Homo-oligomer: A and B are copies of this chain.
Amino acid sequence: MSIIRQDPTTKEWVIIAEERMQRPHEYKTLEAGRRHIIPDGLCPFCPGHEASTPEELFRITDLKGTGWTVRVTSNKFPALSSTGRLERHGESPLFRELDGVGAHEVIIETPEHDRQLPLMTDHEVVDVLTAYRTRYHALMQDPRLKYIILFKNHGERAGTSLVHAHSQLVATPVPPMTLRRKYEVAIAHYDDTGRCLYYDVAEEERKAKNRVILETDRFLVFHPFASRVPFETWIMPKRHQPSFGQVNEEDLCALATVLRRTLRALYDRLGDPDFNYMIHSAPTEDENKEYYLWHIQILPRLTAIAGFELGSGIYISSMSPEQSAAVMRESPRTLSGES
């Protein structure tokens, strides 16, 4: 079982999951343990190899009724798992830890080994998002879990070299300190103005126009004013929804279209870049509070995160969001769905 420890100088948590390193002397090439490098034809995410993944948690069956379009399983090397106790223990008052209670799941986005999310149909993306929401709802029921994040790592720079398209879900028994801090900022804004900070940010971006790349009835897509990296992209709902768990069927269909178009435009303009995306939501206890708005943050991984960023938390970007948004708008047919 993994353990969760608190850094006494930042109050941030880290997860120490030694099971993820398979052999004790693998530390020279730790990446290998993470990559689970797979010989050809043995991909555990391909149909026919279902028995080589851990317990299946959800699937969408295909039209024939014999196969599947999307599967969710536990992660084979879980960072967190459902057993353990939540009481804090640790060596001293400064060194606190708790058992690695939580969930770590893998969403296999397609049965096709080489099919990537930016090139899927809207319908296939709806299935992926349906799996996200189904698992989000299931884990929300567990009162031990305080925070649920869905994310995708695409490409080696983004932390995966498993080719078969997949995303992940992690649910933690403690809220991340970075979320607590964002929450403080959002609550201060709410107390000052009576409005949701994220709604106001989206309104300002709409007014400014020059960082917006796509707008539909339900969603706004833009490169944020303080983009950390070139082509950082946010997808934000227009209706007030603190958590991804609150999206309804129509939202999900509309989001699939917007997400696919955005990823496809990035794919076209940057040549299949490595990227991460994260679905940010309010803590599960605050599903109904008015401070937060769930959103998707897409971070293309074009440059390395170096010492200055790691040391200061300040990112240096070599391209303004105004400039990158203009580059994105050079794909008007992709963004409007005409292509």
Copies of the protein in its oligomer: 2
A23-58 residues with Cβ-Cβ distance < 8 A to B are 27-31, 33-34
* B176→A313 contact, CB < 8 A: yes
Given the interface contacts A8-B226, A15-B317, A313-B176, does A305 sit within 8 Å of B31 by beta carbon?
Answer: no
- Is the Cβ of A9 less than 8 Å from the Cβ of B312? no
Is B314 a contact of A14 with CB atoms below 8 Å? yes
Secondary structure of the A side of the interface? mixed
Residues from chain B with Cβ under 8 Å of A310 in the complex: 151, 276, 278, 299
Q: Is A329 an interface residue (CB 8 A)?
A: no
Distance, CA A14 to CA B30, complexed state (A)? 31
Bound-state CA distance A6–B228 (Å) is 10
A326 to B178, CA, bound (A): 31
Which residue of chain B lies nearest to A2 when distances are taken between CB atoms in the complex?
B316
Q: Are B307 and A201 in contact (CB under 8 A)?
A: no
A151 CA / B228 CA spacing, docked (Å): 19
Contact A15 B176 (CB under 8 A): no
User: Hey, which chain B residues are within 8 Å of A323, CB to CB?
Assistant: 18
Question: A residues 88-142 with Cβ under 8 Å of B?
Answer: 91-92, 94-95
A311 in contact with B21 (CB, 8 Å): no
The verdict on A257 contacting chain B, using a C-beta distance below 8 Å, is no
A339 within 8 A of B: no
* Contact indicator B172/A9 (Cβ below 8 Å): no
Residue contact A307 to B8, C-beta cutoff 8 Å:
no
A59 interface residue per 8 A CB criterion: no
- Determine whether A163 belongs to the interface, using a CB cutoff of 8 Å to chain B: no
Residues in B with CB closer than 8 Å to A64 are none
Can you name the residue of chain B whose Cβ is closest to the Cβ of A159?
B306
Residues of B within 8 A of A11 (CB): 185
Query: Which are the 8 A-B pairs with shortest beta-carbon distances?
Result: A159-B306, A278-B311, A151-B307, A178-B313, A276-B307, A7-B226, A159-B304, A21-B318
Given contacts A8-B225, A30-B318, A280-B311, 12 further A-B contacts (CB under 8 A): A9-B185, A13-B226, A13-B314, A16-B317, A16-B320, A27-B327, A94-B200, A168-B308, A170-B312, A176-B314, A179-B312, A278-B308
What are 24 pairs between A and B in contact, CB < 8 Å? A5-B225, A8-B226, A12-B226, A12-B313, A14-B227, A14-B316, A14-B317, A16-B320, A18-B320, A20-B318, A21-B318, A30-B319, A31-B303, A79-B316, A91-B208, A159-B303, A159-B306, A160-B306, A170-B308, A172-B312, A178-B312, A178-B313, A179-B313, A276-B310
A binding-site residues for B, Cβ under 8 Å: 5-18, 20-21, 27-31, 33-34, 79, 91-92, 94-95, 147, 149, 151-153, 156-160, 168, 170, 172, 176-179, 181-182, 185-186, 197-198, 200-201, 204, 208, 224-228, 230-231, 270-271, 276-278, 280, 297, 299, 302-308, 310-320, 323-324, 327
